[in-house]
Amino acid sequence: MIEVKEITKIYAATGGMLGQKPVKALRGVSLTLADGEAISLIGESGCGKTTLGRIIAGLEASTSGDLVFDGTALSTLSPRERHAKFQQVQLIQQDPYGALNPARPLGEALADPLRLQAKRLGKDASWVQMRAKELLQLVGLDPANTLYKYPHNLSGGQRQRFVIARALTVEPKVLIADEAVSMIDVSLRLGILSLLSDLRSRLGISVVFITHDVAAARYVAPKGMVCVIYRGEIVEYGATDAIIASPIHPYTQALLSAMPVLRGLEEPGPDRYIPAQDLDLRLDDEGGCLFRARCRFATDRCAQEHPPLVTVDEGRRLHSCFYPEARHVVAVPIEGASL
């Protein structure tokens, strides 16, 4: 189990469009990831979801706050011990083209971490071979047809499968997939999403799925949780289905409204609304609701008070809006128009 406790991250900005002001990428985020659970972090570019993923994976240090792995606060550990803990967490990045060395055969790229693992477990070279084949089969690649190839011989979808296989070499407990399908053809996305879902149910790996596409989150974990992040703050949290069917926070509603409507098969949802304004990180919203500049329901109160995260639905749902109202924004399938 991983507990994220009041994590903040502040980047010191120098010049440029953001001026000299430091950027608050995360403003005190807390959440819990149980073993074998899936949680999706959702928000637009610049909301801090990637930073949070990188902090959980140990690739970046937080400014304040702590991570607790199975009851052990990482701040109490030595760097060496912390490093060992972070090995349980593996990050799958967005770009499968940049994640692999183009000059090395795929078999080598997979054997390297496996050899280290073999040393740790006291296994021999034949184990490395066997494990490489096992892992490739697990992610749906044909070992005989993959090991001798180079990254450029694979399609985007195959590359991402390979990157996942490589992440599994160290037998992680948690996979963090950061926009893992956004650079892959829509036609092949579903395959990667169901692979992540499979790994979770078959190997008991927890999945943190970072995306701006709520529909994709639904295929990784229909029974999982969704955590909506806006400007470094959790604004809504709940079960995936509940969030899709009845989003409470206007920002969640905006994200869901922006999903394309398959006109002809679907009608736009009755409450669909997309804010005209862009995310502007230069705005200083200290003191009030961070979303108020783009919110059509904002009042004076939203400018003066910061809405706290409150619990509703007997603890199953969290939101931070002074005027909570569930709205129906997602597209409605047209009767009889399905394939």
Partner 1 sequence: MSAKLTDRSQQDFGLSPEVACQVRDLNVTYRVDGRELSALREVSLDIRQGQITAVIGESGSGKSTLALALMNAVSSPGRIASGRVTYRGLGEVTGMRGEELRRIRGKAISMVFQASQNSMNPLTRIGAQLLDLARSHDLPNPRAVLREAGDLASRMSLDADRVLTSYQHQLSGGMRQRVGIIFGLVLKPEILLMDEPTTALDVLSQSSVLEIVRSIQRERQLTTVLITHDMGVVAELADRVVVLYAGRVVEEASTAELLRHPRHPYTRSLIQAIPRLTGDPGDAKALEGQPPSLASVPNQGCVFRERCPYRMDVCETILPSFRFDGDGEHRFACHYEEARHD
Q: Which residues bind partner 1 (CB under 8 A)?
A: 16-17, 44-46, 155-158, 185-191, 193-194, 212-216, 218-219, 222, 244, 254-266, 274-279, 330-333, 337-339
Query: Nearest distance from residue 285's CB to partner 1, in Å?
Result: 17
- In the chain, how long is the greatest CA-to-CA distance? 69
Helix, strand or coil for residue 104? coil
**For partner 1, the closer CB: 120 or 223:** 223
Query: Nearest distance from residue 124's CB to partner 1, in Å?
Result: 34
The answer to whether residues 321 and 252 touch, using CB atoms and an 8 Å cutoff, is no
Exposure of 298 by Cβ count < 10 A (0-12 exposed, 13-18 middle, 19+ buried)?
A: middle
Q: Provide the 10 A C-beta neighbour count for residue 185.
A: 10
| HEC profile of 2-47 | EEEEEEEEEECCCCCCCCCCCEEEEEEEEEEECCCCEEEEECCCCC
Q: In what order do the strands lie in the sheet with 225-230?
A: 89-92, 174-178, 206-211, 38-42, 225-230, 233-239, 317-319, 310-312
Give the contacts of 147 (CB within 8 A, at least 6 positions apart): 105, 106, 107, 110, 132, 133, 136
Query: Nearest distance from residue 279's CB to partner 1, in Å?
Result: 8
**For partner 1, the closer CB: 130 or 265:** 265
How many angstroms separate the CA atoms of 31 and 9, rounded?
15
**For partner 1, the closer CB: 1 or 326:** 326
The answer to whether residues 257 and 44 touch, using CB atoms and an 8 Å cutoff, is no
Query: Nearest distance from residue 241's CB to partner 1, in Å?
Result: 10
**For partner 1, the closer CB: 30 or 194:** 194
Query: Nearest distance from residue 67's CB to partner 1, in Å?
Result: 26
**For partner 1, the closer CB: 97 or 127:** 97
Q: Between the CA of residue 11 and those of 8, 24, 287, 288, what are the distances in Å?
A: 10, 6, 20, 21
Query: Nearest distance from residue 48's CB to partner 1, in Å?
Result: 13
**For partner 1, the closer CB: 124 or 278:** 278
Supply angle C-alpha 144, 150, 152, rounded to 5.
Answer: 120
**For partner 1, the closer CB: 114 or 199:** 199
Query: Nearest distance from residue 256's CB to partner 1, in Å?
Result: 7
Exposure of 277 by Cβ count < 10 A (0-12 exposed, 13-18 middle, 19+ buried)?
A: exposed
Query: Nearest distance from residue 69's CB to partner 1, in Å?
Result: 30
**For partner 1, the closer CB: 87 or 153:** 153
